[in-house]
Amino acid sequence: MVVVEIDNTWLVLGVAPGRVNKLYAMNKPSADATNATAQNNPLVEEFATQLNQSMKKENA
């Protein structure tokens, strides 16, 4: 997996030989949000939830 930033959007990509899949996309958090702790941060929690769901789908 890799995270790529394009035009204030973060993309989580699954990368394998000969194949790239978009797993999740979200807007880049503001500087205030990135300075906050991960605990109780809705952006971090949302990202973690979506990433876990995507990983479960790929491994099913």
pLDDT given for residue 13 in this prediction: 94
pLDDT given for residue 36 in this prediction: 55
What are the sequence ranges of the domains in the chain?
2-59
- Roughly how many angstroms between the first and final C-alpha of the chain, as a whole number? 17
pTM of the full structure = 0.52
pLDDT per residue as tens digits for the range 3-58: 999 998 999 999 999 999 999 999 987 766 555 556 677 888 888 888 888 878 76
pLDDT given for residue 11 in this prediction: 92
25 — phi, psi (to 5°)? -135, 140
